[in-house]
Amino acid sequence: MRLVIVGGSDAGISAGLRARELDPAVEVMLLLADRFPNYSICGLPFYISGETADWRDLAHQKLPDLESAGLELLMEHQVTSIQPEAKLVHATGPESRPVSLHYDKLIIATGAELVRPPIPGLDLEGVHLLHTMEDSFRVQAAGAALGGGRALVIGGGYIGLEMADSLTHRGLRVTVVEQLPAVMPTVDAELGNLVAEELGRHAVTVRTGVAVERIERIERNAGRLVATGSGGFEGEFDLVLVAVGVRPSADLAVAAGIEIGTRGAIRVNRCMETTVADVYGAGDCVETWHRLLQRPLYLPLGTTAHKQGRVAGERAVGGQAEFQGSLGTQVVKVFDLAVARTGLRQDEALHEGFQPVTTETRVWDHKAYYPGAHELTIRVTGDRRSGRLLGAQMIGHPAGQVAKRIDIFATALFHAMTVDGLSDLDLSYTPPFSAPWDPVQVAAQEWAREVPRAPAG
């Protein structure tokens, strides 16, 4: 039995490892376009900042480990087409050598590609889109050479803000431009504004409601770029980084006659099967089943890619795993803040036909009488009709265990708990780390006070 996997990042590697774990007899051949299997794309900002000195450390698992787990890696193999009727994958290897592989099962894990906004000047030297390892080598080199220079980050989403942090750490003076009224649009503007304040505290200039319209080279200074945009935005920069989002890399699947679902992502069911027999999909190139909404969305996240890959790998060797769905749980570090969310925000919940109510609570991460307490801001969204928890957002110092506190909400959401029910959870407490009611429960109780339910008695 031969399993061929197209793509060597999170989903592909995860699939291959799971298949081999369950069935050591399966032959797993994995084709990847570059020579960097299993690299943590999420780690690039920390390599560029200098916090991670050696890019080789970014690999989740190193090549010898992958090989000893039984994965046969064909690096620098660009897959050109898939022929499902003949069960063939065609690729171009090093030195343009054509390669054709027969498969019994195929997993497509081609990931996502960066959106290139229609801004004239994106091809100029000094303008970067960050996606591959090669991109990051270029930005790292440029950043290191430009200590004290000026950088523009186009896009105030989580990657843009991680890069603002990263380039500041490198010694650059950074400006972030975001089209929407607040940065970090994955959380409510109230929290986005707290993130903007944190950026300001670290000398990052934030311009919201601004669209960059043009990037040009300055004649009198060959190394410099000028960016102009709406609202009279104009600035000179040594480096421009574009981070305005990603879209699924699905061209290969489309050409093979595989059906496409929401937002251009490959349609898959919860067994990670595409619409073509013996072909699975996983990761940033496919739709993601949303556990709360019970329908597919496009929600590319590394955690999800790992889970979907694991399911696809298990299915490919005859296992019965099912993808249990995403809640869009995510966290990002921006300077001394952790910003996290899970589930739906107020506006998303409203759009989905719920009767959402969102409350905001400020609460110490642990008993304030013990040194080092940090204030957390927690937003809880619940459904007025059913009392059900719909989502939560949290922001605060990383030492306030924001990342794993959002996971308490995420685990509660996974089990469709009511907001009120959170108070029943038996959570750990000692004064240096929490309070007898954990901040998560304090926020839930605040919501319940705001939304009194008919007394059950």
* From 203, 222, 454, 456, residue interacting with a second copy (rule: CB under 8 A): 456
The answer to whether 375 touches 364, Cβ cutoff 8 Å, is: yes
- The minimum distance between CB 91 and a second copy, in angstroms, equals 27
Site for a second copy in 100-159 (CB under 8 A): none
432: which 2 tokens?
């240096």
353: which 2 tokens?
């036909």
- Is 355 a residue that touches a second copy (CB under 8 A)? no
- Is 424 a residue that touches a second copy (CB under 8 A)? yes
The answer to whether 71 touches 18, Cβ cutoff 8 Å, is: no
- Is 443 a residue that touches a second copy (CB under 8 A)? no
**Cα gap 192→209, rounded to integer Å:** 13
Judged by beta carbon, residue 97 or residue 404, the one nearer a second copy is: 404
| Residue span binding a second copy (CB under 8 A) among the ranges 61-69, 97-105, 196-204, 365-373 | 365-373
Judged by beta carbon, residue 37 or residue 43, the one nearer a second copy is: 43
- The minimum distance between CB 326 and a second copy, in angstroms, equals 5
- The minimum distance between CB 390 and a second copy, in angstroms, equals 14
Site for a second copy in 52-91 (CB under 8 A): 52, 54, 57-58, 60
Judged by beta carbon, residue 179 or residue 304, the one nearer a second copy is: 304
DSSP code for 143: H
Site for a second copy in 213-242 (CB under 8 A): none
| Residue span binding a second copy (CB under 8 A) among the ranges 113-121, 258-266, 346-354, 417-425 | 417-425
Which residues, including other chains, have CB under 8 Å from residue 221's CB and lie 6 or more apart? none
- The minimum distance between CB 436 and a second copy, in angstroms, equals 4
* From 134, 254, 362, 429, residue interacting with a second copy (rule: CB under 8 A): 429
| Residue span binding a second copy (CB under 8 A) among the ranges 44-52, 137-145, 196-204, 264-272 | 44-52
- The minimum distance between CB 235 and a second copy, in angstroms, equals 29
**Cα gap 88→404, rounded to integer Å:** 44
- Is 188 a residue that touches a second copy (CB under 8 A)? no
Which x/- pattern, by CB under 8 A, does the window 269-308 give for a second copy?
----------------------x---------xxxxxxx-
**Cα gap 126→144, rounded to integer Å:** 13
DSSP code for 264: G
**Cα gap 66→64, rounded to integer Å:** 5
- Is 359 a residue that touches a second copy (CB under 8 A)? no
Judged by beta carbon, residue 181 or residue 436, the one nearer a second copy is: 436
- The minimum distance between CB 202 and a second copy, in angstroms, equals 16
Radius of gyration of the chain (CA): 23
Long-range contacts of 186-193 (CB under 8 A, 24+ apart): 186/157, 186/158, 186/330, 186/341, 187/339, 187/341, 187/345, 187/379, 187/393, 187/395, 188/345, 188/346, 188/358, 188/379, 188/393, 190/360, 190/377, 190/379, 191/339, 191/377, 191/379, 191/393, 191/395
- Is 310 a residue that touches a second copy (CB under 8 A)? yes
How would you classify residue 171: left for phi > 0, otherwise alpha for psi between -120 and 50, otherwise beta?
left
Judged by beta carbon, residue 153 or residue 406, the one nearer a second copy is: 406
* From 212, 240, 338, 344, residue interacting with a second copy (rule: CB under 8 A): 338
* From 7, 43, 121, 229, residue interacting with a second copy (rule: CB under 8 A): 43
Burial status of residue 420 (CB atoms within 10 A of its CB: 0-12, 13-18, 19 or more): middle
**Cα gap 247→116, rounded to integer Å:** 10
| Residue span binding a second copy (CB under 8 A) among the ranges 99-107, 128-136, 319-327, 383-391 | 319-327
Alpha helices in 324-457 (DSSP H): 346-351, 402-414, 439-450
- Is 328 a residue that touches a second copy (CB under 8 A)? yes
* From 28, 331, 378, 443, residue interacting with a second copy (rule: CB under 8 A): 331
* From 79, 340, 376, 442, residue interacting with a second copy (rule: CB under 8 A): 340
Per the listing, tokens 């072909």 go with 279
- Is 40 a residue that touches a second copy (CB under 8 A)? yes
Site for a second copy in 377-416 (CB under 8 A): 398-399, 401, 403-408, 410-412, 414-415
Instruction: Centre a 10 Å sphere on the Cβ of residue 377 and count the other Cβ atoms it contains.
Output: 20
| Residue span binding a second copy (CB under 8 A) among the ranges 43-51, 70-78, 105-113, 272-280 | 43-51
- Is 368 a residue that touches a second copy (CB under 8 A)? yes
The answer to whether 444 touches 423, Cβ cutoff 8 Å, is: yes
CA distances from 223 to 146, 176, 276 (A): 10, 20, 50
**Cα four-point dihedral sign 92, 93, 98, 99:** negative
